[in-house]
Structure 1
Amino acid sequence: MGIISVKELGNFYVNGHEVILRGLPHKAFICQDGTTQDFDPNGQYEAGQMYVEYVKLAQPKAKYPLLMWHGGGLTGATWGSTPDGREGWRSLFLRYGHDVYVSDSVERGRSSWAMYPEIYRTHPEFTTKAACWSNFRLGPLFAEDHSKRVSYERTQFPVEYYDEFYKQIVPRWRSMDDWAQDAYNNLVDRFDGGCVIMAHSQGANFALPAALAHPDKVKGLILLEPARTPDPQTTDFSALKEIPQLVLWGDFIRVSELCVWTKAAYFKIYPEYFRIMKELGAPINWIDLPKRGIFGNTHLLMMDRNSAQVAELIQNWMGGRGLM
């Protein structure tokens, strides 16, 4: 695919608003030199902002910019490179000819976070290595002793670099999704000429409502092992019926230890969503990679050893849907 010829690199923030705290008690802390300093938490802060970085090509081939939205407990680092140092999807899709926008959701990464409970409603949630091992379908058994961890046979994830991957995991606040949704909606609203959203896992929770809010601006939805949809009992999805959609799943879905949210998403939530979309006549595709002869993929499709092969499949799908 050759050299990436870049026209512009940059970043910006979406949303954010001033919060003023008053009436909080002062705190004292001891410095390294033994002196005591007073800390006054009262004052003005910014909260609710979302960080976005972008790369614009000198000669893009794709019709629309590609927005990459990460999953739960993750940041935009998801798309940068793989834990074992291979080229990540941000770079691969730039080579395919897309302008790329990578975001850190509200309360993640470079978007920063705010005090709780003074600003955020609840405490942060920290995810253990064991929970990530299970949630991302790396194997049936996690152990503190590296030599005793059991990964799935034929797994494509480079498990010897699992601890390196885990350095990407950050705290998350489940109570601030409304702020995140508002920021994602406003990000999409910036693209008057349209955009394509590539959303991983929890990112799909925000991608579908953003598309419902701006169906004229979302030209394609790529949902990578998506977690959930808006409630089909109360949501009219007809605004999405003209948008090409790809729902993509990896391997090891039918293992007995499959985590609860993946089980719900794969066997209940998204089959119902797919049925609704098909009834509306929407151009939607559901792809199980093992049924395409591509085996061993985990929840972290963009980091698996065959990530370039999966990226090529997605790129071909976009070409076939008129997005190039």
Structure 2
Amino acid sequence: MGFQLKNIVSFHIGGRNVSLSGRQKELRRLAQGGTPREIDPNGDYQFGQMYVQGYLQENPRHQLPVMLWHGGGMTGVNWETTPDGRPGWLHHFLGAGYDVYICDAVERGRSGWNAFPDIYADAPLFRTKNEAWDMFRLGPKDGYHTDPALRTSHPEMLFPLDSFDQFACQWVPRWADHELMTMSAYGALLERTGPAIVIGHSQGGGFALRAALEFPHLVAATVALEPSGAPNREWLAGKSHPHLIMWGDQIQSHAIWAGYRKTVESHVAQLRGLKTTVDVIDLPAEGIRGNTHFLMMDSNAEALANRVIAWLGSAAL
């Protein structure tokens, strides 16, 4: 279904000032053909901010906007197009009549990152294609090879393998233990936009579950695609809005992902015990085999987006 945009907005939100002193000055060349000049790294810096891009429709068919929150070591580009060039979930939700906000979370992409150990305590983490092949459940741990022709995938795997190296171009540095800073920026976004539907993937799915508890007045529905974590139990309190969890294939045979899912299932049980509606879509249990961790990039991504859209239409928001 088509849509007409009224505006595309972009802004940074959250963050604060920090002042540094006592750092050594450097002589560095910064311009083509230029000579080195003195760089003084002492002074004020902004950190903890998040980049947001909003797609606002001329005539939205829904009052509530959709937030799309990405996973660890990723940016909002995950939602824009698939690595093989198909429309991403951004387009599907716009086509369904929603205004949509996409974020580059704190320290990722256009949010920028900062000096370490002066501002960030540790150096960034970088993901290898070897690790991703296993963690994203594209194939067995020893199935990755530098030569694409020699890579081994899981049977019935639905990710566009010919575009895996193109997908790897999206990955960005990440830091561990920045949850509080990131959640603060997501909260500031919700305060700015007002009530919204939050859809998160992987680490972003964990943040979506957490936002449901920290900002119950600002989250009208939560969708978590393969969340890699869940909030602490002591945050649970009373009946909340509807939740939807979606899982792909090859989870129980992967020790790390089996552990992640166990944590999330415990959280789901706690929510249900408090009379919160939590629906779970277990794709392989339905006979849909081959979905990877990146559900919104697999070959059936549009069909999965439509299932979420249909669920939102049936939920009492």
Query: How far apart are the structure 2 equivalents of 1:49 and 1:164?
Result: 28
Checking the alignment, whether the CA contact within 8 Å between 1:134 and 1:259 is kept in structure 2 is no
Which residue, out of 244, 247, 250, partners 1:249?
Answer: 247
Report the Cα distance in structure 1 between the residues aligned to 2:282 and 2:63, rounded to whole angstroms: 27
- For 1:224 and 1:270, locate their aligned partners in 2 and report how far apart those are by CA, in whole Å: 11
Other structure's SS at 1:144 match: coil
Say which SS state the counterpart of residue 68 (structure 2) adopts.
strand
Look up the match of 2:48. 48
Q: Which residue of 2 aligns with 1:134?
A: 134
**Aligned position for 2:160:** 158
Q: What SS does the aligned partner of 1:101 have?
A: strand
Output aligned runs, 1:71-150, within 5 Å.
71-140=71-140, 141-150=143-152
Do 1:23 and 1:42's aligned partners in 2 also have CA atoms closer than 8 Å?
A: yes
Inter-CA distance 153–319: structure 2 relative to 1 (3 Å threshold): same
Whether the 8 Å contact between 2:80 and 2:88 is mirrored in structure 1 is: yes
Cα distance change, pair 124–259 in 1 and its aligned pair in 2 (3 A): farther
- In structure 1, the partner of 2:170 is 168
Rounded to whole Å, the distance in 1 between the matches of 2:111 and 2:83 is 22
2:293 corresponds to: 299
Deviation at 1:316, TM superposition (A): 1.0
User: SS in structure 2 opposite 1:15?
Assistant: strand
* Cα 1:22–1:191 shift into 2, 3 Å: same
Relative to the length of structure 1, the TM-score reads 0.93
What's the offset of the Cα at 1:69? 0.3
Query: How well do the aligned residues superpose, as a CA RMSD in angstroms?
Result: 1.5
Cα distance in 2, alignment partners of residues 205 and 252 from structure 1: 20
Name the CA distance, whole Å, in 1 between partners of 2:101 and 2:18: 28
SS of equivalent residue, structure 1 residue 47: strand
1:215 is aligned to 216
Deviates more, 1:15-24 or 1:119-128: 15-24
Tell me whether 112-121 or 29-38 shows the greater mean CA deviation.
Answer: 29-38
- Of the three residues 266, 271, 276, the one matched with 2:265 is 271
Q: Which residue of 2 aligns with 1:198?
A: 199
> Alpha-carbon deviations, 1:215-267, whole Å to 9, x = none?
011100000000111222xx13124x231000100112233xx151x12122x
2:178 aligned counterpart, secondary structure: helix
TM-score in terms of structure 2 length: 0.95
Runs of at least 4 residues off by over 3 Å: 30-36
Amino acid of the residue matched to residue 218 of structure 1?
Answer: V
Structure 2 residue identity aligned to 1:236: W
Aligned with residue 314 of structure 2, among 317, 320, 324: 320
Contact preservation (8 Å) 1:188, 1:210: no
Shift of 1:27: 1.4
Matched, 1:285 2:288: no
- Preserved contact between residue 6 and residue 56 of structure 2 (Cα < 8 Å): yes
Counterpart of 1:80, as a letter, is E
Once the two structures are superposed, residues 297-324 of structure 1 have per-residue CA deviations (whole angstroms, 9 ceiling, x without a partner) of: 100000001100111111111111034x
